[in-house]
Structure 1
Amino acid sequence: MINPNFSKLVFGRAIGNAGDSIYMIAMNWFILKLTDSALWIGIMNAAIVLPGILLFLFGSTIDKHSKRRLLVAVEFSQLVVVVLLIVALLAHVKLAGVYVILVFIAALFGSLAYPIQDALVPLIVKKDELVQAQEYMSIAYKGTDYVFNALSGFLIGLLSVLGILIADAVTFVVTVLTFNRIKVHEPHHRPAETSEPYFQQVLVGFKIISKNRLLGLLTFSSAVLNFFFGGLNTYVVLFGRHFGGSIYYGILESMSAVGTLVGMTLLYRSLKRLSVRVAYLIGNLGCTIFMFLTVVAFNQFWAFAVVYLGSFIFLGLTQVYETPMIQASVAADQLGKVMTSFYTLVSITLPLGSIAFAYLADRFDLRLFLFLFGVFDAVVFLLFALSRSFRRVDDLQL
């Protein structure tokens, strides 16, 4: 690990994400048992997703205050909400809206942890260690998500929803204590008073992204990619049905998880000697080739599964580089605003993609979706390959 303080950040994030992964799924299961309504499941999932769209409202606050203290505060706030959920369960509260509101608040604090961490990392590690740091953070984010999402059904049956929430409260206690032990030098200055209206302050991040061509390109590609991933969340279920049932759906979900982790670790490490620009272009080109190959292999499951895995391996490689490029391109006192604006823009398109492609699912062949995904990947590859601003990305000295 890069240094002891960064190790604490990674450990705390991994523990916190493990708890989050299980309890969000547990609450979906609980709300289904409580209401026996698919509508309420949709409302619960909306409560989990919507906070990401609101993050830009908090960018100025992140930049003005201690990132470490804010990180401890949002984790402690999630602990308080989970305790309230436990109390509601023990009190046999039957109002679904109460649980939805509490989950929304918890999800808001949980979403805030990501831009706060992204703003904190450059204060803990050196500039040329940002990409390596992102590799570890990606494993802490996604690795624990994938593992505990896979185990969630078993754990809910073993511990019950109440047991899951109690275990989740314990993970937040560990996370708070771990983050509180991080030692980082942050400027102790009082934020300058400004007459600028608050609404204009929260828009600063969007303005920085729009004026910086590299940031604009990264944001555009991530936002549209999330639009397609919103569709993929629907289509992967249909792929499973096409091949014969839920077991095939489960295998494809596992392939995407394993592929992303392999790309973030093994492929990234094998290409570390290459420049950031070349490695990132290889990732985009690999995504393009393998996504088009899924169309060709669509009638044979294992051939399809292998190339599907390949597309996620190269996707995982690109994800290691994206956040460090943003971190290295933005001044430290503006990073909170930019990261929250970035997360807001890429969060909006995920539910839009889910709705749009769910509507279109019965109206065209499943292979057309894969082909369109491949076309988008090809366009992204060409945009980055031809971008003048991206040609200078190695000047960031990541």
Structure 2
Amino acid sequence: MINPNFSKLVFGRAIGNAGDSIYMIAMNWFILKLTDSALWIGIMNAAIVLPGILLFLFGSTIDKHSKRRLLVAVEFSQLVVVVLLIVALLAHVKLAGVYVILVFIAALFGSLAYPIQDALVPLIVKKDELVQAQEYMSIAYKGTDYVFNALSGFLIGLLSVLGILIADAVTFVVTVLTFNRIKVHEPHHQPAETSEPYFQQVLVGFKIISKNRLLGLLTFSSAVLNFFFGGLNTYVVLFGRHFGGSIYYGILESMSAVGTLVGMTLLYRSLKRLSVRVAYLIGNLGCTIFMFLTVVTFNQFWAFAVVYLGSFIFLGLTQVYETPMIQASVAADQLGKVMTSFYTLVSITLPLGSIAFAYLADRFDLRLFLFLFGVFDAVVFLLFALSRSFRRVDDLQL
């Protein structure tokens, strides 16, 4: 690991994400048992996703205050909400809206942890260690998500929803204690008085992204990619049905998880000697080729599954580089605003893609979706390959 303070950040994030993964799924299951309503499950999932769209409102706060203290505060706040959920369960509260509101609040604090961490990382690692740091953070984010999402059904059956929430409270206690032990030098300054209206302050991150061509390109590609992933969340279920049932759906979900982790670790490490620009372009080109190959192999499951795995391996490679490029391009005192604005723009398109492609699902062949996804990947590859601002990305010395 890069240094002891960064090790604490990664360990705390991994433990916190494990708790997040389990209790979000547990609460969905609980709401289904409580209401026997698909509508309430949709409302609960909206409560989980919606906070990501609101993050830009908090960018200025992140930049003005200690990132370490804010990180401890949001994790402690999640702990408080989980305790309230436990109390509600013990009190046999039957109002679904109470649980939805509490989960929304918990999800808001959980979402805030990501931009706070992204703003904190450049303060505890060197600039040329940002990409390596992102590799470890990606494993902490996604690795624990994938593992505990897979185990959640078994754990709910073993421990019950109440048991899951109690275990989750313990994970947040560990996370708070771990983050509180991080030692970092943060410039001490009083928030400057400004006559700017609050609404204009929260728009600063969007303005920085719009004026910086590299940031604009990264945001555009990530936002549209999330639009397609919103569709993929629906279509992968249909792919499973096309091939014969839920077991095939489960295999494809596993392929995407394993592929992303392999790309973030093994493929990234094998290409570390290459420049950031070349490695990132290889990732985009690989995504393009393998996504088009999914169209060709659509009628042969195992060939399709292997190609599907390959597309996520190259996707994982690109994800290692994206956050460090933003971190290295933005001044430390503006990073909170930029990261929250970036997450907001990227979060909006995911539910939009889910709705749009769900509506279109019965109107065109499943292979057309894969083809369109491949076309988008090809466009992204060309945009980055031809971008003048991206040609200078190696000047960032990542």
Smaller-chain TM-score bracket: over 0.9
CA distance in 2, matches of 1:385, 1:351: 29
Counterpart Cα distance in 1 of 2:78 and 2:19: 11
Supply the distance in 2 between the matched residues of 1:358 and 1:134 (Cα, whole angstroms): 33
Counterpart of 1:20 in structure 2 is: 20
SS at match of 1:73: helix
Q: Which residue does the alignment assign to 1:271?
A: 271
| Higher deviation after alignment, 338-347 or 190-199 | 190-199
Q: Cα deviation per residue 1:92-142 (whole Å; 9 max; x = unaligned)?
A: 000000000000000000000000000000000000000000000000000
State the distance in 2 between where 1:247 and 1:43 align: 27
Residue 183 of structure 1 aligns to a residue whose secondary structure is coil
* Equivalent residue number for residue 243 of structure 2: 243
| CA shift for structure 1 position 327 | 0.0
Deviation at 1:329, TM superposition (A): 0.0
- Percent sequence identity is 99
Aligned residue in 1 for 2:291: 291
**Deviation string for 1:18-67 (max 9, x for gaps)?**
00000000000000000000000000000000000000000000000000
| 1:284-319 CA distance string (max 9 Å, x none) | 000000000000000000000000000000000000
- TM-score norm. by structure 1 comes to 1.00
Pairwise mapping of residues 374-393 of structure 1 onto structure 2 (< 5 A)? Answer: 374-393=374-393
User: Which 10-residue stretch deviates more, 188-197 or 171-180?
Assistant: 188-197
Secondary structure at 1:20 match in 2: helix
1:17 Cα deviation from its structure 2 partner: 0.2
In 1: Cα distance, 2:365 partner to 2:190 partner: 59
CA–CA separation in structure 1 for the residues paired with 2:148 and 2:187: 37
CA distances 1:163-184 after superposition (whole Å, capped 9, x unpaired)? 0000000000000000000000
User: Does 2:151 match 1:175?
Assistant: no
Please give the per-residue CA displacement for 1:350-392, whole angstroms capped at 9, x wherever unaligned. Answer: 0000000000000000000000000000000000000000000
Deviations 1:143-163 (A, max 9, x none): 000000000000000000000
Q: CA deviation at 1:261?
A: 0.1
Are residues 1:143 and 2:143 paired?
yes
Secondary structure at 1:335 match in 2: helix
Once the 2 structures are TM-superposed, how far is the Cα of residue 341 of structure 1 from its aligned partner? 0.0
Q: Structure 2 matches for 1:126-141, cutoff 5 A?
A: 126-141=126-141
Instruction: Provide the secondary structure at the position in 2 that maps to 1:121.
Output: helix
Structure 2 CA distance for aligned equivalents of residues 96 and 193 of structure 1: 43
* TM-score, normalization by structure 2: 1.00
* 1:63-93 per-position Cα deviation (integer Å, ceiling 9, x unaligned): 0000000000000000000000000000000
Q: Work out the number of aligned pairs and report it.
A: 398
- Aligned residue for 1:194, secondary structure, equals coil
1:227 paired residue number: 227
| Structure 1 segments of 4+ aligned residues over 3 angstroms from their partners | none
Distance 2:273 2:49 in 1: 37
SS state of the match for residue 284, structure 2? helix
2:34 equivalent in structure 1: 34
Aligned partners of 1:205 and 1:192: how far apart in 2?
17
Q: What secondary structure sits across from 1:191 in the alignment?
A: coil
Residue 188 of structure 2 aligns to a residue whose secondary structure is: coil
Alpha-carbon distance between aligned partners in 2 of 1:229 and 1:90, rounded to the nearest angstrom: 38
Deviation at 1:343, TM superposition (A): 0.0
Deviation of 1:9 (Å):
0.0
Q: For the residues of structure 2 that align with 1:59 and 1:377, how far apart are their CA atoms? A: 30
| Residue 155 of structure 1: aligned partner | 155
CA–CA distance in 1 between the matches of 2:183 and 2:40? 43
Shift of residue 209, structure 1, vs aligned partner:
0.1
CA distance in 1, matches of 2:160, 2:349: 34
SS in 1 for 2:252: helix
* 1:191 CA displacement: 1.2
Q: Distance in 2 between matches of 1:20 and 1:327?
A: 25
In 2: Cα distance, 1:159 partner to 1:361 partner: 37
2:236 and 2:160 map into 1 onto residues whose CA distance is 28
Distance in 1 between residues matched to 2:137 and 2:234, nearest whole Å: 27
Asked if 1:309 is matched to 2:309, the reply is yes
Question: In the aligned structure 2, how far is the partner of 1:369 from the partner of 1:220?
Answer: 20
User: Quick one: distance in 1 between partners of 2:249 and 2:67?
Assistant: 40
Q: What CA distance in whole angstroms lies between the structure 2 residues aligned with 1:71 and 1:192?
A: 22
Q: Report the Cα distance in structure 1 between the residues aligned to 2:72 and 2:197, rounded to whole angstroms.
A: 28
Post-superposition shift, 1:189? 1.1
Q: CA deviation at 1:211?
A: 0.1
**Residues 228-250 of structure 1: per-residue CA shift (max 9 Å, x gap):** 00000000000000000000000
- Cα distance in 2 for partners of 1:284, 1:301 equals 24
Q: Distance in 2 between matches of 1:36 and 1:393?
A: 52
SS in 1 for 2:221: helix
Any stretches of 5+ residues in structure 2 without a counterpart?
A: none
Give secondary structure in 2 for the equivalent of 1:375. Answer: helix
Secondary structure at the counterpart of residue 63 of structure 1: helix
| TM-aligned CA deviation for residue 192 of structure 1 | 1.0
What is the CA-CA distance between 1:227 and the residue it aligns to?
0.1
Equivalent-residue separation in structure 1 for 2:287 and 2:199 (angstroms): 39
SS of 1:189's partner is coil
Instruction: Give the Cα–Cα distance (whole angstroms) in 1 for the partners of residues 82 and 189 of structure 2.
Output: 34
| Gap runs ≥5 in structure 1 | none
For residues 343-354 of structure 1, the aligned pairs below 5 Å read 343-354=343-354
